Structure 1
Amino acid sequence: MAVTVVRREAARRWLVVGASALVLVSAPAAVGALPAKVPDTAVATLAARIRASAAQPFQGYAVSTGSAGLPALPQLGTVADLLNGDTRLRVWYAGTDRFRVDVIDDGTERDTYRLGGRELVWDYGRGEVTEVTGAPPVRLPRGADLVPPDLARRLLSMTDPGDRLRPLPARRIAGIAAAGLRIEPVSTHSTVGHVDVWADPRTGLPLSVSVTGKHATQPILVSTFLDVSLRAPTPSVLTPPAARDGIGYIVTDSTDVSQVLADRRVGPLPDELAGQPRTSTPPADLAGIGAYGTGLAQFVVLPVPPGIGFDAMRRAARAGGAQLDFPDGEGVLIATPLVSVLAMDADPVHRTYLLAGLVDPALLKQAGAELSSFGSVR
């Protein structure tokens, strides 16, 4: 069978990436063994620099490794993939509105470009470019969210005022002597024991992140650079493939997503669940989607069509989930050391839901019991 130009180009890129990965994977042990000395920096100062590091350009190669043990569920399949196994990431970052992240797997590659108000995803396997104009109102986590700087800033932004910050010994990450800090949530509802971040002490750019469960002895999610440069990428590398023969091109508007959410008519959600108030920040301000609690003890309630909801319950049960009987419904609870997921139905209002968060499974169980009776008439 003839090989197209696109396929030859993709194959060549995968071979280059694969060869580079073999070199990079063997390098950190040797480089990391070198002593790391950093200027004395107060932990609050380092945290502030990390928060402000979004303006720092960079480019590099990172690997994220997850061992959450979360089964694949409808609507959450990509999330399970990100939290289980390795995700290889090549990133070029010029700013918050101009970057490119390639998620590389064996024989496949998906490149995400952010160019101002446009986002494009180039799927090598399908030979297809999908363009989304505007900022989507809500989306599931994706590979690009696991790049150490974005992951660290996101987790740091979720901390509550009472969460503890303390310094960690310096480490050498991808050849850079990095200062470290540890975030320790105080909430008894969070499954997160601590989050460790190492960053360039001068710019605050995060270079490595690890998340450890409250009762775990090893990190459950680790994302770290194996190679990084604090130089801005050239404009050409941020240019997506142009439309040509052999490449499909799809354009959609982010307002389409908002309209779909508005048209679902899933009904209201309670202002409080399991003692946790509903937040007013996205995605909780979208019709039918609720976020409850604060900081690293927040969980999300997503109404789903019955077919998806019952399929999720069956899959969760096959994966060893706990069967639950609620006052007005039933559910199946998956509890991992980091992520808890509940698939459930509420009989009186004939609705099905997915609940998920970095929270104690007992909290989701209580929320499900209350949600099962919400809106029912007795």
Structure 2
Amino acid sequence: MSERTGRSRVTRWGVPIAAVAVVAAAVGAGPVIAAVQGEPTLPTRTAQQLLADAARAGQSGGVKPMSGTVIQTASLGLPGLPDISGAGGSSPAALLAGSHELKVWYGGADRLRLALPGRMSETDLIVNGDQVWLWQSETNEATRIKGVDRGTESKHASALPSATTPQQAAQEVLSRAATDTVVSVSNTERVADRPAYQLVLAPKDSASLVKEVRLALDGETFVPLRVQVYAKSAAEPAFEVGFTSITFTPPAAENFTFTPPAGAKVTERNADEPGEQDQARQERQRKLEGDLKVVGQGWTSVAVLPFSVKDLGANAAQKADGEGEDATAVATALLGSAKQVSGPWGSGRVIQTKLLSALLTDDGRLLVGAVTPEKLQEAAARG
């Protein structure tokens, strides 16, 4: 991983300025009515003011050193999911259900540590100046990334592809919010024992399966502390990622130092020479981006890409560390609950959870979105 890659994770600790502008346009110029009644613990601020504060906090040098623990919980209502947690529980497929923990230490632009604990293992990314380590306890392997160049865009893939922070989730949510969003704000929240503002974003379009998204911003630093996504007709969040504890003080220096333990397999790699797994991931990502189409926009956008049932086996063969097998097991379980549908667009099978719908057409397309099955079929007819 290059230093730029490590720092790209650091910049996600603030709400992106571009996303702020999109949401600000949705809010309008008038004051916002508080969504929660009670004794205010923070000064009253409009959504526009909060988003501007968050944008400043996300700029270079705006994020204070901090450390904390993040919990991600998913309850998507997936039918018949197999046990895919495995020893590490860190594959993307494993994060579709249950709760998962991420520990974070941020000491500045060049000092970052992320730890993803598993059931009997831990994966760590440690960035300390030009020293970048990836440690995987399950396989007792340590990889040192050398040749870091500040001015070179890294080709190295994300070291922790399944780790999600509230900042990353906030970025995704705000990128979807547009003029079809109702936005309100409250100033009486507490997250990780800190006073927080809460933005509530609710889609106007009834075709969206999202009831609302609640985004909590720290009352002092305006760093995103928690993101909760609520599906319609559900009392609990279908997806939630947030800090359970956070401290805005510089972490101790030893958190950013790493020495491979005795007996560990140690390898070195240049920042511009990704490993085999990274190369495979990058190739799949390039192919996906080349084939992917998006129908619609905002909350009701639908992703469309070429796909068929036989692709599952091919994908499993390309992926390592059980990730492909996990994904195939999940897909097989979901297909077992699929319903046959047809229309002017053709025929296929549709799957609906609390928050997502997927349509696998018989002519080889996969359509996915946080929308009703009817909206998927409408998108299938459009292309």
**TM-score normalised by structure 1 residue count:** 0.67
Q: Structure 1: how far apart are the matches of 2:268 and 2:242?
A: 33
1:295 matched to 2:316? The reply is: no
Q: Give the alignment of 1:78-93 within 5 angstroms.
A: 78-93=91-106
1:253 corresponds in structure 2 to 274
Q: What SS does the aligned partner of 1:237 have?
A: helix
Q: 1:103 to 1:162 in 2, by over 3 A?
A: same
1:66 matched to 2:62? The reply is: no
1:361 matched to 2:373? The reply is: yes
Kept after mapping to 2: 8 A contact 1:289/1:300 = yes
1:153 corresponds in structure 2 to 171
Kept after mapping to 2: 8 A contact 1:243/1:249 = no
1:374 corresponds in structure 2 to none
Q: 1:225 to 1:36 in 2, by over 3 A?
A: farther
Q: 1:324 to 1:123 in 2, by over 3 A?
A: farther
* Structure 2: gaps (5+ residues): 1-38, 85-89, 314-327
Q: Structure 2: how far apart are the matches of 1:127 and 1:260?
A: 27
Deviates more, 1:97-106 or 1:148-157: 97-106
Q: 1:262 to 1:126 in 2, by over 3 A?
A: closer
Q: Structure 2: how far apart are the matches of 1:167 and 1:94?
A: 31
Residues 318-373 of structure 1: per-residue CA shift (max 9 Å, x gap): 2x121234668643222111112233441xxxxx34332222222223334555xx
Counterpart residue type for residue 358 of structure 1: A
Residues 175-196 of structure 1: per-residue CA shift (max 9 Å, x gap): 2111212111223332111111
Q: Structure 2: how far apart are the matches of 1:341 and 1:61?
A: 32
Kept after mapping to 2: 8 A contact 1:53/1:205 = yes
Q: Structure 2: how far apart are the matches of 1:257 and 1:51?
A: 35
Q: What SS does the aligned partner of 2:290 have?
A: coil
Q: Structure 2: how far apart are the matches of 1:260 and 1:362?
A: 33
Aligned-residue offset at 1:69: 2.3
Please, which of 38, 43, 51 is the counterpart of residue 39 of structure 1? Answer: 43
1:321 matched to 2:338? The reply is: yes
1:333 corresponds in structure 2 to 350
Aligned-residue offset at 1:85: 0.7
Counterpart residue type for residue 77 of structure 2: G
* Structure 1: gaps (5+ residues): 1-34, 265-282, 347-351, 372-378
Q: Structure 1: how far apart are the matches of 2:238 and 2:248?
A: 28
2:15 corresponds in structure 1 to none
Q: Structure 2: how far apart are the matches of 1:64 and 1:258?
A: 23
Residues 15-65 of structure 1: per-residue CA shift (max 9 Å, x gap): xxxxxxxxxxxxxxxxxxxx8711222222112323443341321012122
Q: Structure 2: how far apart are the matches of 1:287 and 1:116?
A: 35
Q: What SS does the aligned partner of 2:54 have?
A: helix
Q: What SS does the aligned partner of 2:169 have?
A: helix
Counterpart residue type for residue 140 of structure 2: G
Q: 1:193 to 1:112 in 2, by over 3 A?
A: farther
Counterpart residue type for residue 226 of structure 1: T
Q: 1:245 to 1:156 in 2, by over 3 A?
A: same
Sequence identity (%):
25
Q: Structure 2: how far apart are the matches of 1:174 and 1:289?
A: 38
Q: What SS does the aligned partner of 2:233 have?
A: coil
**TM-score normalised by structure 2 residue count:** 0.66
Q: Give the alignment of 1:181-330 within 5 angstroms.
A: 181-234=199-252, 236-239=254-257, 242=260, 245-247=263-265, 249=267, 251=269, 252-253=273-274, 256=279, 260-261=283-284, 286-304=289-307, 307-309=310-312, 314-318=332-336, 320-325=337-342, 330=347
Counterpart residue type for residue 148 of structure 1: P
Q: 1:128 to 1:356 in 2, by over 3 A?
A: farther
Q: Superposition RMSD on alpha carbons, in Å?
A: 3.9
Q: Structure 1: how far apart are the matches of 2:45 and 2:291?
A: 44
Higher relative contact order (CA 8 A, sep 6+): 2
Kept after mapping to 1: 8 A contact 2:295/2:379 = no
Residues 211-249 of structure 1: per-residue CA shift (max 9 Å, x gap): 101332321112222210113445542455559742254
Kept after mapping to 2: 8 A contact 1:309/1:344 = no
Counterpart residue type for residue 336 of structure 1: T
Q: What SS does the aligned partner of 1:231 have?
A: coil
Aligned-residue offset at 1:91: 1.0
Provide the aligned length of Structure 1 versus Structure 2.
308
Kept after mapping to 2: 8 A contact 1:43/1:181 = yes
Q: 1:87 to 1:339 in 2, by over 3 A?
A: same
Q: What SS does the aligned partner of 2:42 have?
A: coil
Q: Structure 2: how far apart are the matches of 1:337 and 1:291?
A: 21
1:8 corresponds in structure 2 to none
Q: Structure 1: how far apart are the matches of 2:109 and 2:352?
A: 34
Residues 66-112 of structure 1: per-residue CA shift (max 9 Å, x gap): 110236699xx944432311011111234677533222232122224
Q: 1:259 to 1:217 in 2, by over 3 A?
A: closer
Q: 1:88 to 1:330 in 2, by over 3 A?
A: same
Counterpart residue type for residue 293 of structure 2: G
